[in-house]
A and B are shown apart, each in its own frame.
Chain A
């Protein structure tokens, strides 16, 4: 039934329209209570559902935050344990090295001190003998009173005295010289003692420095174990920094891989054919990529075997003997691969020259002009890069490990942020739905303002002008 049909229920469309309007208004008026309930219930249900969803997401976010916290703390604990372990190893090395040399150093010090003591004793200054000439002068003086010919005697005495003085001086000089020689001989011993003590001092300072570092790390470790917020905040920010730094280094490594790929993809076509395809990719390209991936894998195993990275606990748990064997094997494989790459890089240059020469011949150019005397530089450079890049890619393991570890935290943080935003949006939508229900009721009442006004009047009349509070509220609601 169309609108035009409805307007023909009376011969006058306007009257038909008015009747229809009245009927609709009546229907709406009588269904008002139920419609309001329906609208409010629907809006309430939707709002409640959204709020429940928001709460669920908040719970999920809390669980994720707790998990992220655990991951961060575990990572921090592990990192600190490794640092402390390394510091202890260094202290142990220092102590072992110094203690191993201690008996020898002690013997040398004792010998030096003994020699110094002996030399010191020998170098002690012998007090000069008491002068005998004073007594002689007294005897001469007594003689002078009794004998007038004492002049000659005095001259002899004088002579003897001068001679004795000279002899005494000679002996004294000789003794002083010997003492100085002894003192001079003591100098290397003093120097040796000083060096030994300086070495001891240096070692002690190193141990003290390391112990302070260990102390600091232990404090941080304890804070992590206690799960302090400050420690968590530090770990979180460190993790984000590590993530970006390792991502940057990995991007550089990817560029290196691309260069490596370019070096070996062309000559690979000579080995596996230039027109074979696997899926949509050239077999030669896939082979080159596989070679590079194998090199990176070997690099990872090498780093694991050296215990520089700890991505594979199985390798770390191997016995030292097997680990050393693994280091040797992986290094040899890497060396082999690097040599192959260098050969392929050389082959690439040869192929390139061959192709250039063929194209020049086909174009009618002078093929000889292509070959330059400096081409060996590019050939050597390519070979060098082919040999060095596999070893350089070994170090990708370090940023890769950091990236993997920090990725967990960063993904967790991003997840928390996304869940937070989602919870907020759902909450806003829930509130919006609630208000939308109230708004829908008002919109429903809008075309019913006439019957509602009449109803209020009637109710007011029945109650002698005292409409109940509920009715007045209904009218107010309708008017608002």
Chain B
């Protein structure tokens, strides 16, 4: 998936008004709560057919961290 498409889709999934960048701190977003984690799990399952081990969520702060958890190989520039 193109990184730009990923950023748009993730923003839509999180119902976030602010445009996301690789450096956006997810935990600082107003809309990011316990339900957001479910949204991210569903989003990754649907688009990448990949399960996110929730232990990794602790270390996810930025959008870029999330992309690392999904796997860099799934993204193009």
Please determine whether chains A and B interact with each other in the same assembly: no
Q: Which residues of B are interface residues toward A (Cβ below 8 A)?
A: none
Chain A residues engaging chain B, CB cutoff 8 angstroms: none
